Amino acid sequence: MSTPLKETVGRYGIWSVGLRSEDPDRRGELAEAAAELEELGYGALWLGGNSSAAHAAPLIEATSKLTVGTSIQSIWQHEPDAAATAFADLESAHPGRFLLGLGVSHAKRVEQYARPYSALVEHLDGLDAAGVPADRRLLAALGPKSLRLARDRAAGSIPYLVTPEHTAHAREILGEAPLLAPELGVVPETDPARARALAREFLEIYLPLPNYTNNFLRHGFTEDDLVDGGSDRLVDALFAWGDDAAIRTKVDAFFEAGADHVALQVLTGEPRDALPRKAWRDLASVLA
C-alpha cells in the first residue's frame, strides 16, 4: 500500500527557483543542497518557474525519500503526452517521488493565453488519456472554480502568494481529503523597514499580474493595497518576517487555517536563483 500523500510530503517543504537550474555546472551544487535539505527534515522540494520532470530528476536521484514537485509546469509549454512520458519515466525509476504541479501561468507571460480554465480542463483530459494519475498531480489553484477543479481532478492545490485567510477559504472548497500546500515567503529579517523592503522587491514582479491581484481583492484587500509596491497590510499578510517566534507564528497560522503542508520560499535579498542554504538551516531550527 502506498503512503498517503500528506504523509509523504510532511509538514514543511522548500520552494526554490534556484533548485531548478539548467546549468550543468551547478548539478553537483544542487544535488548537495537537496541532500542537505532532506537531512534537515524538509519533506518536499518545490521547483519554481516553468519546471518539469527533467528538473526534478537530479534532485530525486541525489536524495533517498524527498518528494519533488513542479510549482508549476505551465500547461501552455508542455503538451500532455510529453508530460505523461516524462512522468512515467521518472515514476519507473523512482516510484512515488515526483508530483506534477500544474498551472495556467499569466496572460502577460504567455502569447497563446486564452480561456485558461477551459485550457486547463482540456490539459487534464489529455493527462488522463495519457495515464498520469489524478492523485499524483496538483493544481496551482487560487479562485473558486480552479479550487473545485483541484478537488475533483487532482490530488489538491499548491496556491502561490496567498494568505491564511485564502487557505481557510481553499480548505472549505477542497474538503478534508485533498492536499492543500500553500507557498509562503519567509524574510529572515527583524528590522521592519528592511523586511518589508525585501518583500516588496520580491512582490514587484507579481503585482502587475491580475491572477494574483484579483485574488487579493477577493479576500478583503483594496486597490490602495496594491500600489507603491504593496501596503504594509498586504506585505504583512503575505510574508513571514521578524524574529524566530514571529516567523513560526506566521507559518503556524497557515496550518491553523487548514494547510497540510507549507512550501517555504526564503527571501534574503540574493538573486532569485541563489541557494540560501544557511537560511534554510536556520529555518529548519525554527520549525523543529
> What does the pLDDT look like over 160-178, one tens digit per residue?
999 999 999 999 999 999 9
Cell triple for 270:
540574493
How many CB atoms neighbour CB 211 within 10 A?
Answer: 20
What pLDDT score does 111 carry?
Answer: 75
Using the predicted structure, report yes or no on whether residue 200 has a pLDDT greater than 60.
Answer: yes
How does DSSP classify residue 79? -
Q: In terms of DSSP bridges, do strands 12-16 and 262-266 run parallel, antiparallel, or are they unpaired?
A: parallel
| Range 5-194+241-287 has CATH code 3.30.300.30 | no
Q: In terms of DSSP bridges, do strands 262-266 and 73-74 run parallel, antiparallel, or are they unpaired?
A: unpaired
What pLDDT score does 2 carry?
Answer: 67
Cell triple for 274:
541563489
Asked, as a colleague might, if the bond just before 158 is cis with ω within 30 of 0, I would say: no
Task: Mark out the alpha helices in the chain (DSSP H runs).
Answer: 5-9, 27-40, 53-61, 80-93, 116-130, 144-153, 164-174, 192-203, 210-218, 232-238, 244-257, 277-287
| Count of all residues that appear for the chain in the document | 288
Q: Please answer whether residues 94 and 61 qualify as being in contact, where contact means their C-beta atoms are separated by less than 8 angstroms.
A: yes
How many CB atoms neighbour CB 198 within 10 A?
Answer: 21
Q: pLDDT digit string (tens) for 241-253?
A: 999 999 999 999 9
Task: State how far the Cα of 172 lies from the Cα of 175, in Å rounded to an integer.
Answer: 6
Q: pLDDT digit string (tens) for 255-284?
A: 999 999 999 999 999 998 999 999 999 999
Rounded to whole angstroms, the maximal C-alpha distance in the chain is: 52
In the chain, the amino acid numbered 217 is L
How does DSSP classify residue 100? E
Q: In terms of DSSP bridges, do strands 239-241 and 183-187 run parallel, antiparallel, or are they unpaired?
A: parallel
What is the pTM assigned to this prediction? 0.97
Distance of CA 152 to the CA centre of its chain: 20
Residues 127-132 have a mean pLDDT of 98
